[in-house]
């Protein structure tokens, strides 16, 4: 059994964030990421302002502590667990990181997992799960391939997962919930949402729990041959509890050059700004971007 920890009072948590934000208020719009983080797929900013990132599959099982002000990679920490397909990163108030090893592009994985890792002590546990509505691995019809996940947040002692639909699917994002403690579970389906021509690739929640942010994009072809892509950050506010999709929704297009960058991660910076990161893809170098949330 894991030891019990007391949650930081919300006022103290926000104070730490406020002090940290003051030191980072001059961040540039774009900061280059080092070559070690070429396939950034998850990013989280801790209450003390430290930024941690991870790469997705085909990369070592490593976490990266990166300083966006200096552009320096401060620490690389390798974990003794596999990176089958790490896709997102979130945190709680007790010093734990949650590493989502649930990438499932072909919808056939039966070993979906979230690693729970304590930064200070090195304690490492796993949260294994399955989806309640998946019967076939993979479903016969590719339009029903909606058991991939690249987005996760922690909220109220639970982990909230948001599915990534197949590009040729119906663009439904499903919201599942899991306990944030080691064990084997069947995820609980909570809600769904259609984001037309977008699939969800990253998630973050503001420290006060009042704003959910999702990154998303689409890759397709116009007229059957012209490459076309778009990337968008969605912001949800004015919801009750964890019924995020019932709230007010706004959208902001993410930076592009010729075609949209592959944004797969987002984290909160301050009351107006968020940080998003894109992978390295041919004409696009991996980078961290400061964006303004649209209200």
Question: What does the pLDDT read at residue 186?
Answer: 98
* CA distance from start to end of the chain: 42
Tokens of 137: 């691995």
Could you tell me the sign of the dihedral formed by the alpha carbons of 189, 194, 195, 197, in that order? positive
**Mean pLDDT of the region 205-212:** 97
Beta-bridge mates of residue 32: 287
Lookup: tokens for 182:
């080691």
Q: To the nearest whole number, what is the mean pLDDT of the chain? A: 91
Share of the chain above pLDDT 90, in %: 82
257 — pLDDT class (breaks 50, 70, 90): confident
d(CA 292, CA 241): 24
Rounded to whole angstroms, how far apart are CA atoms 109 and 22? 43
**Token couple for 123:** 């304690």
Give the total residue count for the chain: 295
Range of lowest pLDDT (169-183, 210-224, 268-282): 210-224
Exposure string for 186-199, b = 16+ CB within 10 A, e = fewer: ebeebbebebeebb
Single pTM value for the model: 0.90
**Cα dihedral 24→27→31→36 (10° resolution):** -10
- Rg of the chain (C-alpha set): 18
Which pLDDT belongs to residue 225? 67
- CATH class of the domain whose range is 10-292: mainly beta
The pLDDT of residue 16 is above 50:
no
User: Where does the pLDDT of residue 2 fall: very low under 50, low under 70, confident under 90, or very high at 90 and above?
Assistant: very low
Please indicate whether residue 178 or residue 18 has the higher confidence score (pLDDT): 178
pLDDT for residue 25: 56
For the record, the structure tokens of 2 come out as 């894991």
Domain boundaries, the chain: 10-292
Q: Kindly tell me if the per-residue pLDDT of 90 is higher than 80.
A: yes
């Amino acid at each position: 059994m894991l030891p019990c920890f007391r949650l930081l009072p919300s006022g103290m948590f926000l104070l730490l964030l406020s002090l940290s934000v003051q030191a980072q208020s001059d961040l540039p719009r774009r900061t280059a990421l080092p070559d070690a983080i070429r396939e950034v797929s998850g990013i989280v900013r801790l209450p003390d302002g430290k930024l941690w990132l991870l790469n997705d599959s085909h990369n070592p099982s490593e976490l990266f502590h990166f300083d966006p002000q200096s552009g320096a990679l401060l620490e690389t920490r390798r974990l003794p667990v596999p990176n089958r397909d790490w896709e997102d990163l979130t945190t709680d108030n007790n010093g734990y990181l949650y590493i989502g090893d649930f990438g499932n592009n072909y919808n056939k994985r039966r070993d979906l997992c979230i690693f729970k890792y304590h930064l200070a002590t090195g304690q490492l546990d796993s949260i294994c799960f399955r989806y309640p509505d998946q019967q076939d691995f993979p479903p016969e019809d590719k339009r029903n391939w909606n058991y991939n996940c690249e987005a996760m947040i922690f909220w109220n002692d639970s982990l909230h997962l948001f599915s990534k639909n197949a590009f040729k699917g119906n663009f439904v994002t499903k919201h599942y919930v899991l306990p944030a403690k080691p064990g084997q579970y069947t995820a609980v389906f909570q809600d769904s949402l259609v984001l037309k021509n977008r699939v969800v690739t990253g998630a973050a929640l503001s420290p006060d729990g009042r704003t959910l942010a999702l990154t998303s994009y689409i890759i397709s072809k116009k007229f059957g041959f012209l490459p076309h892509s778009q990337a968008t950050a969605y912001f949800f506010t004015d919801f009750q509890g964890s019924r995020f999709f019932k709230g007010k929704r706004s959208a902001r297009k993410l930076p592009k050059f010729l075609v949209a960058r592959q944004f797969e991660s987002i984290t909160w910076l301050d009351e107006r700004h968020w940080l998003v990161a894109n992978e390295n893809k041919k004409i696009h170098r991996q980078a961290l971007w400061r964006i303004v949330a649209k209200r």
